[in-house]
Chains A and B, each alone.
Chain A
Amino acid sequence: MAPARSFLAPLSRTTVPFTSSVRPSIPQLAFAPLEQLSKRWILRGTKIENKKKKANKNFTNYDLREIEQFSLIDAMHYIRAFEVGRNPTSSKYDLAVRFRTQRSGPVVRNRLRLPHPVKTDIRICVIAPPDSKVADDARAAGASLVGEDEIFAQVKEGVVNFDRCICHIDSLQKLNKAQLGRILGPKGLMPSTKLGTVVSNVAQAVRNMVGGSEYRERDAVVRLAIGQLGFAPEAMQANIKAFMESLRKDIGQMSSEKEVHEVVLSSTNAPGFTLNGEYRGPNSISPKELSGPL
């Protein structure tokens, strides 16, 4: 291997001025004595140009029998230890679900309301006439900002103090006229029918957004913040069950085949724990011991 290369380098350097513009790089090999070039080198050189490796149609999945799996309580026991001394409001449990699925094809994408919401302080802006029934409903459902022209004026000044924006279907024209797309667009806040943020039933949409979470499949994995660090095992179990149930429904509606391959529970500062689907293992501690404060 090595002698062939070291020989080749000076040789090609001498030949380059004459050949580089006319000949492609492969025929240059003919100048080198063939017996000095290993067969493998030629093969490797030609292979790259002629054949591209065919990509697998499915995502690669590994056998999980070799890896250690944990019950929910065991995983939480470890994770709480890894998160000791951290700010309990900034660290979160997260769940990653891996599918057995094709590389191409439809992906799972939806939003759901967990039984125990993870993030509750989300600020929602509703664009609707401020003194209408729609606006009252939206306020009752938890919107922090409701209005039309005042909001437009505020946003134009650069004051955007909300995290989500919903528009009532009748106010859409006004919104488009106000030309806020340049400001809201880059922030991903501009309501559009495609994203489901232009709706007729505003109250319902707001309710779904407060404490709701979105998830989406990327590279065969769906990730979701599944709980606050202070959650008791029962609350986590309820959340995980709700999420898995929702995923099952999503998969059921799809034409392509998908199966859940692996479920991994992790957190902001802890390693990932593959769950075995059980709540308690034989050597687990009592769930009460994990219910207290951190």
Chain B
Amino acid sequence: MVHILKRARNLRQLLWIRNGPGAIQLPKEVTKIHLEFHPKLIGSAFRGARHFWHEMMPRMKYRNPTVPMSVTRHKDPNGGAYLHIYTSTATPASSQTTNPPGTANASPEASNTLTPDTTEPTHTFEIKTLHESEILDLLVEKTGAVVLRTPPEEAQEMEEFKEFEVRAEKDRIEVRERLLRERREAQLLKLARGEVPNAA
């Protein structure tokens, strides 16, 4: 099992997932969010999309556990990167279907039931070459999501953690240097005693 201290430190990631860019409350109309991009960055064409998935989507999912969020990765390096937003109110207006809102157009079961998702997304954005923060701004603007503020005590804690990281990096370098020096000295001692190491 991972050491308890390591686990405890890892759990401070929870602050990361609670706060920061992406901590938004989506309005009730949003039924699904879907992201589509190529798994490689390819210059910086898909960097924003990938970072958006990796850094912001966990926060969004944490704040909106009921909204299905999915990602597909296509294999075409020249293909696009898209952000699809599905909403429940806009569908009857755009396409005159007889389905009551909230059943057919909600389409959240698509990945579970293996039936192809036929509903059209309400908004589709081309997000190739966009920065992840630009994608987030786009999403917030179009859906009218509420950006949640970080509580001051958690902000302070995050600040402390940042300092801790900086210090840890410094310590890591120091420790590594000392360790290497000791090893080198031990090696020299060994050589001096006439015990020829196998490698040399």
B7 lies within 8 A of A264 (CB): yes
A82 lies within 8 A of B17 (CB): yes
A84 lies within 8 A of B58 (CB): yes
Among B60-109, those with CB < 8 Å from A are 60-62, 65-66, 68-71, 108-109
Point out the residues of chain B lying under 8 angstroms from A67, CB to CB: 4, 7-8, 11
If over half of A's interface residues share one DSSP class (helix, strand or loop), that class is named, otherwise mixed; here it is: mixed
Which residue from chain A places its CB closest to the CB of B14 in the assembled complex?
A: A78
Judge if A42 is at the interface, Cβ distance under 8 Å: no
Would you give the 0/1 interface string for A259-294, flagging 1 where the beta carbon is closer than 8 Å to chain B? 000001000000111100000000001000110111
Point out the residues of chain A lying under 8 angstroms from B189, CB to CB: 8-9, 12
A81 lies within 8 A of B59 (CB): yes
B8 lies within 8 A of A9 (CB): no
Would you give the 0/1 interface string for B10-35, flagging 1 where the beta carbon is closer than 8 Å to chain A? 11011001000000000000000001
Point out the residues of chain B lying under 8 angstroms from A274, CB to CB: 7
Q: How large is the interface on A (under 10, 10 to 19, 20 to 34, 35 or more residues)?
A: 35 or more
Point out the residues of chain B lying under 8 angstroms from A264, CB to CB: 1, 7
Give the docked Cα–Cα distance between A9 and B189 (Å): 6
Q: How large is the interface on B (under 10, 10 to 19, 20 to 34, 35 or more residues)?
A: 35 or more
* A13-21, A108-116, A169-177: which lies at the interface: A13-21
Point out the residues of chain B lying under 8 angstroms from A16, CB to CB: 192-194
Point out the residues of chain A lying under 8 angstroms from B71, CB to CB: 84-86
Give the docked Cα–Cα distance between A221 and B109 (Å): 36
Among B11, B62, B65, B188, the one with the most A-chain Cβ atoms within 10 Å of its Cβ is: B65
Would you give the 0/1 interface string for A87-119, flagging 1 where the beta carbon is closer than 8 Å to chain B? 010000000101000000000000000000000
Judge if A256 is at the interface, Cβ distance under 8 Å: no
Tell me the minimal C-beta distance from B142 to chain A in angstroms. 20
A82 lies within 8 A of B58 (CB): yes
Q: A25-B193, A68-B8, A294-B70 are in contact. Are A98 and B1 (CB under 8 A)?
A: yes
Judge if A47 is at the interface, Cβ distance under 8 Å: no
B109 lies within 8 A of A293 (CB): yes
A62 lies within 8 A of B111 (CB): no
A292 lies within 8 A of B108 (CB): yes
Which residue from chain B places its CB closest to the CB of A21 in the assembled complex?
A: B194
A20 lies within 8 A of B69 (CB): no
Among A25, A81, A82, the one with the most B-chain Cβ atoms within 10 Å of its Cβ is: A81
A20 lies within 8 A of B8 (CB): no
Other-chain contact of A20, B58, B60, B68, B194 (Cβ < 8 Å): B194
Judge if A5 is at the interface, Cβ distance under 8 Å: yes
Judge if B57 is at the interface, Cβ distance under 8 Å: yes
Judge if B2 is at the interface, Cβ distance under 8 Å: yes
Q: A82-B17, A84-B61 are in contact. Are A292 and B66 (CB under 8 A)?
A: yes
Tell me the minimal C-beta distance from A40 to chain B in angstroms. 15
Give the docked Cα–Cα distance between A199 and B22 (Å): 56
Judge if A156 is at the interface, Cβ distance under 8 Å: no
Point out the residues of chain B lying under 8 angstroms from A211, CB to CB: none
Q: A85-B69, A292-B108 are in contact. Are A12 and B57 (CB under 8 A)?
A: no
Tell me the minimal C-beta distance from B192 to chain A in angstroms. 4
Known: A84-B60, A84-B71. 12 other contacts (CB 8 A): A9-B185, A17-B194, A25-B193, A62-B4, A81-B59, A82-B17, A82-B58, A88-B111, A221-B1, A264-B1, A271-B7, A274-B7
The 27 listed contacts between A and B (C-beta, < 8 Å) are: A9-B192, A13-B192, A16-B193, A62-B4, A67-B11, A68-B8, A68-B11, A78-B62, A81-B17, A81-B59, A81-B61, A84-B53, A84-B69, A84-B71, A85-B53, A85-B71, A86-B71, A219-B1, A221-B1, A264-B1, A271-B10, A271-B11, A271-B13, A289-B65, A289-B66, A292-B68, A293-B109
Give residues in A with beta carbon < 8 Å to B: 5, 8-10, 12-13, 16-17, 20, 25, 28, 62, 64, 66-68, 77-78, 80-82, 84-86, 88, 96, 98, 219, 221, 230, 264, 271-274, 285, 289-290, 292-294
Give residues in B with beta carbon < 8 Å to A: 1-2, 4, 7-8, 10-11, 13-14, 17, 35, 53, 57-62, 65-66, 68-71, 108-112, 185, 188-189, 191-195
Instruction: Report, nearest first, the 5 A-B pairs whose CB atoms are least far apart.
Output: A85-B71, A81-B62, A13-B192, A20-B194, A271-B10
